Amino acid sequence: MTSSASGSPRSDAAPGLVGTELELPVVAGPDGAPPDRSVFDALWTECAGQGWTRADHGVSRSSATPGPSLTSTQAISTDTGPVLELATAPCATLSDVRAQFVELRDRAREALDRLGCAMLGCGVHPGLRPVPADYYRHRTPRAAYDYAVRERGWRHWSIVDKAAVQEIVDVGFEDAPRLLSTLHRLSGLMNFVLRNDPGVHARAGRRPSVRSLAWRMHVPRDGRFAGDAGKVVVPREVVRSWQDYLAIFWERAPMFLVGTKDRGHAYVPEHPSLLDFVRRAPADGWDARLLDGTPIRVRPDASHVTGSDWWYMGFARVRWKWRHPLPDAREIVAAWDAGRIEAFLASALEKVVVENRSTSAQPPGEELVSLGLIAGLAANLDAAERFADAAPYMLWRRLLEASTREPLTANVDGREVVALARDMIAIAEAGLTRRGEASPAAWLAPLHQRLADGVSPAERRLDELRRGGAAAMVAATRI
């Protein structure tokens, strides 16, 4: 899908840009032990000496993009812990994404080789347990996460060992809720064929997939911040509109930080929703706190709304770029209260993309198969939506739960997972053809092979663990 003049493509438009963020566990030695943070500091220093821009937790550099985009950079970074994230700039084709990924991978691999470390194509770090002791020893320090643990009761360590892929695709403004809804519903089916995140740290009864369970553990289920539970995994109800989507993190949960994940950190101890933060603001601003406890006053402005897109951490989300000059925050909330938020956003947003977040890191040589699947579904959205609409939402939710424990050959509510997956992959392959991708079937060939074998990568990881422990899994997944 390409952008129109307003950056809002239509479902019948030609395909647009795609990109990806690939997370890969980093190990120090054949047993899968996590490296010290000094390894990453050395990597950042080396890249900075070669012209990359240094940040606290990574490096980036400019990269030309073939059209309007939210970013024009490549990045190598860490987030929660010793998991390296390689982020491509937006590209016109999957082949271009692959070329960028290979360049980033090789750059990181050369440096890690010299440091005695390696990246793995696995969705769970074999030597890092999702427990507080390992988290505080190996985590990437971020003030925003410390606030969430201290003030909101998050168990951030539940996801410290997980490695994911974020697939990012252009989408038109009107199509964004449709694509979100479709990806939410298909997340369980996608997980069956893409899962590579077994419960390696369990002593017995290892599940083939733990990523969605870890996110559910990540946030409190009751109390003052129970609304945070609605911002992870998939919504309880189908998202049908922009208002449905925004209500999850603008209305149903206390607002997160005033600022972003990396800067402008402050919070309002009263913990209003974002909408009430604007509606009920005192004339002299809210009583707020910097994350070190320093008291400040905060008056709502547009940036508090425009920076809220990262608050939603579910398995698909919208990222956006607003037109300048930004509207007043009160204008945005007034549009919401008047029931015309969708029309308001249609004119205020310059561009939107959808980021899929349900996928675990893929095996070596197959790192981009999930991007092929998501890009194909997005490019064939009408068919993908019809497929998702053909079954009740509860079936899709049960498929997600079943994907954490059942074999790929399972039946769920009388539906064969393999048959459903073949239909989904066929829709995606037609979408890749529509995108004009070279050899569309080749991008999805690993998925067909998994269905033919009746085995997902997670089962292979569990077999490696049974046969040779973490060392066998490290040897099989080393990139």
Task: Find the CATH number of the domain harbouring 212.
Answer: 3.30.590.20
* 243 assigned to some structural domain: yes
Confidence grade of residue 203 (pLDDT, cut at 50, 70, 90) = confident
Per residue in 74-103, pLDDT (tens digit) is 999 999 999 999 999 999 999 999 999 999
313 φ/ψ angles, rounded to the nearest 5 degrees:
-115, 20
Average pLDDT, the chain: 94
- Domain enclosing residue 49, as ranges: 18-251+311-321+349-477
Please write the tens of the pLDDT for every residue from 391-416: 999 999 999 999 999 999 999 999 99
- pLDDT in the model for residue 7: 35
Mean pLDDT along residues 260-265: 60
pLDDT score recorded for residue 335? 98
For residue 423, pLDDT beyond 90: yes
The answer to whether position 241 is within a domain reads yes
Whether 5 is covered by a domain: the verdict is: no
**Residue at 401 is within a domain:** yes
Q: Is residue 262 part of a domain?
A: no
Q: How far apart are CA 461 and CA 474, in angstroms?
A: 9
Beta strands in 248-395 (DSSP E): 266-267, 286-290, 295-298, 313-314, 316-322, 349-360
Flag whether 217 is in a domain: yes
Mean pLDDT, to the nearest integer, of 191-217? 96
3 belongs to a structural domain:
no
- pLDDT given at position 260: 53
Evaluate whether residue 225 is within a structural domain: yes
Residue 41 burial class via C-beta count within 10 angstroms: exposed 0-12, middle 13-18, buried 19 and up: exposed
Lookup result for tokens 């030609």: 14
Mean pLDDT over residues 113-125, rounded?
97
Residues 294-353: tens digit of each pLDDT? 999 999 999 999 999 999 999 999 999 999 999 999 999 999 999 999 999 999 999 999
Tokens of 225: 């911040």
Token code pair at residue 403? 């994907």
Q: Specify the range with the lowest mean pLDDT, choosing from 12-21, 47-56, 90-99, 376-385.
A: 12-21
Number of structural domains, the chain?
Answer: 1
